[in-house]
A and B are shown apart, each in its own frame.
Chain A
């Protein structure tokens, strides 16, 4: 009956930065509304500016949208051996250097941190390091010879639990 099993060879694998995710003001408002995040800094540009941000800021868990896209490179790879119908989300952690802001162009470097197996359960932990390519600060430097270095904005640690056959 054993069909697919999680491939341990992926531990330590790092994926190159993916295609940029463009953070839209309306997407932030939509996500904020869907999570009941009514603070005006998510919705109103003037309020966000009053707090010192160039545009509306994303709620703290918005980064999951960006992280999910990067994680798909691994999770949807058939050779990774992850049967998604047997997956449950176990843990999630967001660490923010600054909030994600409308106008950010974000690229993500995905790392498969660990896969541990016990009693038929595989625990898979991934890390997404989300960098801004062109923050407003970088725009201000446009025209210079050097492209600005990507700026680390957020790190997302996610752990999935995959049930083995018969569990």
Chain B
């Protein structure tokens, strides 16, 4: 990788720096689209009857949709999404998605750790819906 244009400068980063924020819109159409793109056709993500049968309040977003949507801003910040070498999360709470209209998942990405020896930055994602965290220990390692 020779291209360095637009890459963050490791030396100018500090722990706690906000890398970016985004409000991710979520509606039923986006879940159907994610189901098709990912091949995850679990009906709890598109069928209210099935979702309530298993004790959910209604259709919920795929955890993997939220995980995938939350990390996009980190790839943009890095200037190369291929610089993401590790990404982990815990699915803490479901994101209920109404039959009409849309809801939002809020993402705040901050620098959690800097490792100059390996030129790696850990970016921590705070991902919330209705003020409560939906992803836990959501960490992205980026090789700069």
Contacts and interface: CB of A to CB of B under 8 A. Distances in A.
Interface of A: 27, 30-31, 33-39, 41-42, 50-53, 57, 59-61, 64-65, 68-69, 84-86, 88-99, 157
Interface of B: 1-3, 24, 30, 33-34, 36-40, 42, 54, 63-65, 67-69, 71-72, 75-76, 80-82, 84-91, 140
B89 A60 contact: no
Chain B CB within 10 A, most for which of A37, A39, A53, A85? A39
A30 B82 contact: no
A3 B36 CA distance: 32
Given A31-B38, A35-B65, A59 B90 contact: no
B34 to A, nearest CB: 5
Contacts, number: 117
A96 B85 contact: yes
Nearest to B34: A34
Nearest to B84: A60
Contact of A37 (B39, B40, B75, B91): B75
Nearest to A101: B82
B79 to A, nearest CB: 8
